[in-house]
Amino acid sequence: MTLNNFIYKVSKPLGGLQVARFLARNHPRILMYHRISPDGSPGTISVDQFRKQMKLIKRSFNPISLSNLIELHEQGITPKHAVAVTFDDGYSDFAEYAFPILQEEGIPATLFITTGFVNGDVWLWPDKIKFLLSKKSQIKIPSKLDDDIRLEESSISLWKDISNYCLTLDNLVKEAYISDLFSLNDVCLPEYAPEGFEAVGWEQLNRFIEGGSVDIGSHTCTHPVLTRLSLSELRYELMFSKKSIYCNLGVDVSILCYPNGTKFDFNDKVKRELLNSGYKYGVAAYPTLDPLDDVLSVGRYSVDKDLERFTKTIFGISYVAAMFRRSMSSDEY
């Protein structure tokens, strides 16, 4: 049993959730969502689960927009029990399912959009792999894929393995590899995002902004691995996505969410070009003890459908456990 689970199991019956909430009162929880669906299908959170999570935030915490949270932090103010909700990519289910619940509960959110996806110019490469796996019960793999991929795995595990492999490839090589996957398995690769994989539209985004509860941020144009781009490609992804948002929404965005968002997906070069392109902040996809310590790599907690994990995150048990591990590590020296 992990330390995180141990603290949760032992402390919950003794009022430990409220103790953790108090200990984590100055630790903002910035939450990362992707997709919402009616039934919580793989890779999504169900409408009911999302509603329960938002009600818990509204009841016990201080919901705040990410931009407001960062601005207050730069003024030396850390709102107590702050929770910021963010969504990545810009899927149509944000408009259909997430936005109405956010409105009901009065919770602000930041939506990071991939502008080429919203334009209909591209659809997201991880979705292409999901689409392929939905069409075939068994698939063939190009020989250049790592040998440790097990074809007898579930479609979810196989999708993760193939996606992780694709993350190691340069962007053009990755697209060619995915095209080869479709050809090898005799499946037609749709030019546009098929049903179930569509993006939100610009008109819908305008309505969100008019309502005043949704901030828009950039998630680049095509969702590439930024560290694998040439300088000109990197500048295009940063600057043109910013320009597209301004032209379509009249919003001069200041926050960019790094595609994939791991520590390998951005570096000093990317941060430098981020600032040169007119952004002020960059957002990652992993949690940190001090999420606003570096506003060019703001830390976030990934949220899934597991209510116990969500409870640990939102009440601060994950944070308290991480603090304990850090203190124990420091004591060793």
CATH number for the domain including 240?
A: 3.20.20.370
Please answer whether residues 163 and 210 qualify as being in contact, where contact means their C-beta atoms are separated by less than 8 angstroms.
no
Specify whether 92 is located in the same domain as 205.
Answer: yes
For residue 151, the model assigns a pLDDT of: 53
Specify whether 221 is located in the same domain as 295.
Answer: yes
Specify whether 33 is located in the same domain as 167.
Answer: no
Residue at 324 is within a domain: no
Residue at 325 is within a domain: no
Residue at 311 is within a domain: yes
Residue at 66 is within a domain: yes
Selection from 148, 139, 150 nearest residue 178 by Cα:
139
Specify whether 138 is located in the same domain as 245.
Answer: no
What token pair was written down for 192? 């546009």
Specify whether 170 is located in the same domain as 208.
Answer: no
Q: What is the DSSP letter of 79?
A: -
Specify whether 114 is located in the same domain as 242.
Answer: yes
Residue at 327 is within a domain: no
Residue at 303 is within a domain: yes
Phi-psi region of 87 (alpha: psi -120 to 50; beta: other; left: phi over 0): beta
Query: CB count, 10 Å around CB of 322?
Result: 17
| Residues whose CB falls within 8 Å of the CB of residue 91, separated by 6 or more in sequence, listed in order | 34, 35, 197, 198, 199, 200
Specify whether 30 is located in the same domain as 107.
Answer: yes
The total number of residues written for the chain in this structure: 333
What token pair was written down for 322? 């991480």
For residue 7, the model assigns a pLDDT of: 52
Separation in Å, CA 161 to CA 124, 137, 226, 323: 17, 16, 21, 31
Q: Which residues of the chain have pLDDT under 70?
A: 1-14, 143-154, 330-333
Gap between the Cα atoms of 80 and 46, Å rounded: 29
Residue at 11 is within a domain: no
64-77: b (≥16 Cβ within 10 Å) or e: bbbbebbebbeeee
pTM score: 0.92
Selection from 112, 240, 129 nearest residue 175 by Cα:
129
Residue at 5 is within a domain: no
Positive or negative, the CA dihedral 90, 37, 305, 54 is: positive
Specify whether 238 is located in the same domain as 268.
Answer: yes
Q: Total structural domains in the chain? A: 2
What token pair was written down for 103? 């409105």
For residue 9, the model assigns a pLDDT of: 56
Specify whether 136 is located in the same domain as 276.
Answer: no
For residue 331, the model assigns a pLDDT of: 47
Specify whether 57 is located in the same domain as 29.
Answer: yes
Specify whether 90 is located in the same domain as 105.
Answer: yes
DSSP reduced 3-state for 276: helix
Separation in Å, CA 55 to CA 107, 108, 220: 9, 13, 31
Please answer whether residues 151 and 158 qualify as being in contact, where contact means their C-beta atoms are separated by less than 8 angstroms.
yes
Domain that holds residue 78: 25-120+201-315
Specify whether 295 is located in the same domain as 151.
Answer: no
